[in-house]
Amino acid sequence: MTSQLTAADHRRDSAGLTYIYPVLSRRAGGLSIGVNLNTNNACNWQCIYCQVPNLTIGAAPEPDFALLEAELRGFLEQVQSGDFYRRFQVPEAQRMIKDIAISGNGEPTSAPRFVEVVELIGNIATARGVFPGSRFVLITNGSLVHQPKVREGLKMLNQFGGEVWFKLDSATDTGRRLINNAGQSIEASLNNLILAANYCRTKVQICLVDIDRQGFIEQERRALLDALMTAKQKNRVSEILLYTIARPSLQPEAGRLGKMPETVMQSFADELRLSGFDVSISL
């Protein structure tokens, strides 16, 4: 039996594996191989647009390194042989590994022995010839970057030519509580963003979501722009990934959410570009 993989399907079990899941990523523009360390659906934030079912507050469990290694080696073999592409009816134009992304069902940097996870993935992908041709990405809310184990992980990521995608959806206390259920202040988040950029190439990912049909509130727009300018001036953080929701939220606030209009997205992107940022948009 075959199924078709689409950009709307980000199920973590689509390949029948525990840690590894395939995604046709809008932002990556092809096959993204996800690594889900939060197999317990636990995260220290609870973003209102999150598609993780039964999301709970917590951290990732101890990784099963033997299983992770077996799954990644086996999956890369299926992809590189072409069997995976045929089985999931992936269009010819998208039959390429664009990246391996440590992401998943919660904050991945909360995993114990995080640096060892990064090293394992990097070594396997390099041996299979995936790196350096494809990207090695860490998708994170950045809240734990100040921890020594996470900083060591970023150093290791950098050794493999990797990059960090650092979440920054709001720069106001009200917006961060509403959108991310985050207690961390914007000042602490910016400090971690600057710290991350000291260790590894870092891009800021911003999800603009229309809540209660209010659009992009002016206070939120101005605060985000000011925060980004601060980061840019302090540490040359200049790359931004701007996107809006594409799949239904599985959180209680789902009914309040809508896609941010394309005109609003383009307008903010233009404003950021005028301020010296390199911006890409996924609608």
264: alpha, beta or left, given left = phi > 0 and alpha = psi -120 to 50?
A: alpha
Dihedral over Cα of 157, 24, 39, 190: its sign: positive
Task: Give the pLDDT of residue 5.
Answer: 59
Q: 213 — phi, psi (to 5°)?
A: 60, 30
Residue 11 has pLDDT above 90, yes or no: no
Domain 20-282, what fold? TIM Barrel (3.20.20)
| Runs of H (alpha helix) within 61-147 | 65-81, 83-87, 114-127
Q: Tens digit of pLDDT for each residue in 82-104?
A: 999 999 988 888 899 999 999 98
Query: Rounded CA gap, 184 and 173, in Å?
Result: 9
Q: How far apart are CA 38 and CA 57, in angstroms?
A: 11
Q: Encode pLDDT of 204-257 as tens digits.
A: 999 999 999 999 999 999 999 999 999 999 887 999 999 999 889 999 999 999
Amino acid sitting at position 183: G
The domain spans of the chain are: 20-282
- Which of the two residues, 41 and 5, has the higher pLDDT score? 41
Q: Quick check: 47 pLDDT over 90?
A: yes
**Model's pTM, two decimal places?**
0.93
Pick left, alpha or beta for residue 234 (phi over 0 → left; psi -120 to 50 → alpha; otherwise beta): alpha
